[in-house]
Structure 1
Amino acid sequence: MTTNLTIGERVAWYRRRRGLSQEVLAGLVGRTVDWLSRAENNRLELDRLSVIKTLADALDVSLGDLLAEPTLMDWTNESGTRTVPALRSALMNYRQLTPILGVPTEGEPTPLNDLRSNVAEVWDAYQDSRYGFATRRLPLLLADALIACRAYEGHDRERAHELTAMTYQSAAMVLTKLGETDLAWIAADRGLAAAQQSGNMVVTGSLFRSVAHCLLSNGRYDAAVQLVTDASGYLRSGLTNATPQFLSIYGTLFLAGSMAAARADDRQTTREFLAEADRSARNLGQDANYVWTAFGPTNVDIHRVATAGELGDMQIAVDLGPSIDTTGLPTERRTRHNLEVARALSAFNRVDEALTMVLQAESWAPEQVRSHYMARELVLSWVRNQRSRPSRPMAELADRLHVV
């Protein structure tokens, strides 16, 4: 119902639904009536999730309600006509959850090497921002992984649990990108359970990262910070003679934590988490993609920009962001960085430059740009605030993002 509204307009829409005056809502969030009026009328950009979350809490709605998430997933040649609902059915299929009901296992188990290749294919699609492809493949892959966990014994069963955990994690990551936060939480929770049965600390650490992302997407920033603190304590013993894989998942966990701390307006913890991630990146010594983390010095720099934006330090983001060379990183990382830089540029009314960044990101990853609230909000606010007709590139982008 509110897809074509800006975040500020959605705040006004829900405020009226709650029967609240501007004076009352402004008081609940510790702001002035003038500030709220400007936000609701698109004269002030609501570009910090910490602020948006405060408004959502006061209105008793979810963060996704104000971000217009989840979005409708477009049908593509890769997705077919069964997308998120099919994946929801797979995640909620009780027959796959427990053997105690005596439901027989259907089919022969997939050879573990084939299963590993299939898991890698979905993760690669995620990093290429091909969400339709990943969503289409995941229901069958989940079924195959769970059959493997029941069919194999000994070390092979542990390997099957590793692959099941990574399958659930890929589902959680894709669903988070699509704004399906509740489903993502189910997938991450199941994945962490499977990871613990595998006995593999790298896989367990990878799932901690996914749980942190799910807490982030649900607006539970303090809980995400605490998770990173607790999980890093559990993992710290592995830093002795750490492998590149371990350094990558350990450092990436702190990158997720830095975003949580920034959205919680905790500058000190943000700095500490970024410093810890930077130490892991320097020990790793290069940009790499172990366990599909895209971890290394460049990803740390990307998070310096993103956390600056979340803390409202747009000058830092606009100074540092454009200078970062992301060409060696996966599409998903490059695209996300472009959106952060576009947000910072837009804050200084450098709309033409910001539009160029979004268009470049769309050329790399149309599904990711279409599904991300930041791209939709930027383009919609630009169109709303144009004194004349928007340029053709802007108008056509707004049409492709379905925001007008």
Structure 2
Amino acid sequence: MTTQFTVGERIAWYRRRRGLSQDVLAGRVGRTADWLSKIENGRIDLDRLSVLRLIADALDITLADLIAEPSLLAWTEDSGQHTVPALRSVLMDYRPGTGFRSAPTTDPTTLEELVARLDDAWSAYQAARFGHVTAQLAALIPDAKSAVAAYDGDDSRIASGRLALAYHLAATLLTKLGETDLAWTASNRGMEAAQLSENPLVIGSLLRSLSHSLQSAGEYTEAARLTHDAIAFLDPYMASAGRTLTSVYGTALLAGSMAAARADDRTTVRDFLDGATRAAKRLGSDHNLMWTAFGPTNVAIHRVSTSMELGDLQVALSLGPTLDTSGVPTERRVRHALELSRAYSNANQRDDAPATILEAEQAAPEQVRYHYLSRHLVQTWIRTQRGKPPLRLVELAERVGVA
């Protein structure tokens, strides 16, 4: 299935492969055949993941099949010519590491060096340099595994925490690229390492990673349920929590709010966002502790995103354009810009929508290129353009791979 197919065309293609009429498929998702016909013909834009998940379930396919993922990670100076397959090999390697003991063949990487390399990789992710992150993780994860095996006692537990956070980053990156199964593998292996670390901060962080991986697979209800479990785990520590644990706690709630929105559970969205708001007030201002980018701004970003997932366009248009995101990392700013572009597009503000994405592309070209939302929006604009599309839109479509 090529990326040149629209979401509607993919639905029609899979529907025919399943031998279903429009009446039958529409009935399975509680809609009319006329609605489905308009979706397949591109007369109605479908971008809500909750609805796409219903259709995917009815067709017995994955959500990724409908949104054309995974994305091919381009070769860059940062990544070289070894990208996701190299990371896959690392994640599938069950040689000595967590849970094993063996004599190291070389001196293990120091705990200080692991910290520095982990910070470099996470910082690169937040700057949306995905090729660089992929290359760094392919070397960092094996070195962290070796350190876990080589050290004893507290040092081994600390190394396990570093390894867990490297796996967390791998899962986060892979969800961005649509590598659903591989992201789940990274999250699971990260949770194993987190438990060995015996560190509530690390365990809480990996619970959030599992939630994101579940959402990547379209398991929204399960991801929201996992958030309840994460909060129950962290709650006993919150009475004396410092800023870092408060950030981990709040970010877990934000991940859960997106899962609940995609599951169309408004009550849980409100509860999670209210909890995150209280955590942000406790923190006082925006911070990036443990690479969470947590604070009042990130809570507001999620209010916009959850509003769009719930179909509350006016809420998103009221809050989104007024939000100052200059104080949060690039990845967060650009993610908000994509959501704002979606809101403009749904409101038929066809000048503001592409302008917002083009501005975001200047800050983070890789993120715009690989996010399903930017690809979907650009493809929709190209297909529904009256007359010849503007050159800037055609060139953007080529860059994001939907020309």
Tell me the TM-score range normalised by the shorter chain: over 0.9
RMSD: 1.1
Instruction: Note closer, same or farther for the CA distance 1:293–1:98 as it changes in structure 2 (3 Å cut).
Output: closer
- Once the two structures are TM-superposed, the CA of residue 103 in structure 1 deviates from its matched residue by 6.4
CA distance in 2, matches of 1:217, 1:350: 29
Q: SS at 2:95's partner residue?
A: helix
Query: Which residue in 2 is equivalent to 1:123?
Result: 122
Query: Which residue in 2 is equivalent to 1:92?
Result: 92
1:199 partnered with 2:159 = no
- Once the two structures are TM-superposed, the CA of residue 162 in structure 1 deviates from its matched residue by 0.9
Query: Which residue in 2 is equivalent to 1:279?
Result: 278
Q: SS at 1:95's partner residue?
A: coil
Query: Which residue in 1 is equivalent to 2:301?
Result: 302
CA distance in 2, matches of 1:103, 1:81: 32
Q: Kindly provide the CA deviation profile for residues 258-277 of structure 1, in whole angstroms up to 9, marking residues without a partner as x.
A: 00110011101100000000
1:337 partnered with 2:322 = no
Q: Kindly provide the CA deviation profile for residues 232-285 of structure 1, in whole angstroms up to 9, marking residues without a partner as x.
A: 011101111211000000000000000011001110110000000000000000
- Once the two structures are TM-superposed, the CA of residue 8 in structure 1 deviates from its matched residue by 1.0
Check the 8 A contact 1:2/1:10 in 2, yes or no: no
Q: Kindly provide the CA deviation profile for residues 213-247 of structure 1, in whole angstroms up to 9, marking residues without a partner as x.
A: 00111100110111010110111011112110000
Q: Identity of aligned pairs, percent?
A: 55
Q: Which amino acid aligns with 2:338?
A: L
- Once the two structures are TM-superposed, the CA of residue 38 in structure 1 deviates from its matched residue by 0.5
Q: Which amino acid aligns with 2:394?
A: A
Check the 8 A contact 1:255/1:277 in 2, yes or no: yes
- Once the two structures are TM-superposed, the CA of residue 314 in structure 1 deviates from its matched residue by 0.9
1:52 partnered with 2:34 = no
- Once the two structures are TM-superposed, the CA of residue 99 in structure 1 deviates from its matched residue by 6.4
- Once the two structures are TM-superposed, the CA of residue 104 in structure 1 deviates from its matched residue by 5.2
Check the 8 A contact 1:95/1:103 in 2, yes or no: no
**Post-superposition, which runs of at least 4 consecutive aligned residues in structure 1 deviate over 3 A?**
96-100, 102-106
- Once the two structures are TM-superposed, the CA of residue 361 in structure 1 deviates from its matched residue by 1.0
Q: Kindly provide the CA deviation profile for residues 96-120 of structure 1, in whole angstroms up to 9, marking residues without a partner as x.
A: 45666x8654432011101110011
Query: Which residue in 2 is equivalent to 1:219?
Result: 218
Q: SS at 2:80's partner residue?
A: coil
Query: Which residue in 1 is equivalent to 2:358?
Result: 359
Total equivalences in the alignment: 403
Check the 8 A contact 1:162/1:195 in 2, yes or no: yes
Q: Kindly provide the CA deviation profile for residues 57-88 of structure 1, in whole angstroms up to 9, marking residues without a partner as x.
A: 00111000001000111111111100000000
Check the 8 A contact 2:98/2:193 in 1, yes or no: no
Check the 8 A contact 2:97/2:146 in 1, yes or no: no
Query: Which residue in 2 is equivalent to 1:228?
Result: 227
Q: Which amino acid aligns with 1:337?
A: H
Q: SS at 1:94's partner residue?
A: coil
Q: Kindly provide the CA deviation profile for residues 295-330 of structure 1, in whole angstroms up to 9, marking residues without a partner as x.
A: 000000000000000000011111110100001110
- Once the two structures are TM-superposed, the CA of residue 195 in structure 1 deviates from its matched residue by 0.9
Query: Which residue in 2 is equivalent to 1:321?
Result: 320
CA distance in 1, matches of 2:356, 2:127: 18
CA distance in 2, matches of 1:91, 1:24: 41
Instruction: Note closer, same or farther for the CA distance 1:98–1:164 as it changes in structure 2 (3 Å cut).
Output: closer
Please list every run of 5 or more consecutive structure 1 residues that lacks an aligned counterpart in the other structure.
Answer: none
Check the 8 A contact 2:260/2:268 in 1, yes or no: yes
TM-score (norm 1): 0.98
Check the 8 A contact 1:106/1:147 in 2, yes or no: no
Query: Which residue in 2 is equivalent to 1:110?
Result: 109
TM-score (norm 2): 0.98
Q: Which amino acid aligns with 1:83?
A: T
Q: Which amino acid aligns with 1:203?
A: V
CA distance in 2, matches of 1:343, 1:81: 33
CA distance in 2, matches of 1:403, 1:350: 21
- Once the two structures are TM-superposed, the CA of residue 401 in structure 1 deviates from its matched residue by 0.8
CA distance in 1, matches of 2:103, 2:158: 22
Check the 8 A contact 2:163/2:193 in 1, yes or no: yes
CA distance in 2, matches of 1:364, 1:333: 11
Q: Which amino acid aligns with 2:89?
A: S
Q: Which amino acid aligns with 1:12?
A: A
1:62-81 to 2 correspondence within 5 Å?
62-81=62-81
Check the 8 A contact 1:56/1:63 in 2, yes or no: yes
CA distance in 1, matches of 2:375, 2:104: 44
CA distance in 2, matches of 1:10, 1:46: 12
Check the 8 A contact 2:144/2:159 in 1, yes or no: yes
- Once the two structures are TM-superposed, the CA of residue 2 in structure 1 deviates from its matched residue by 2.7
Query: Which residue in 2 is equivalent to 1:155?
Result: 154
Check the 8 A contact 1:255/1:300 in 2, yes or no: yes
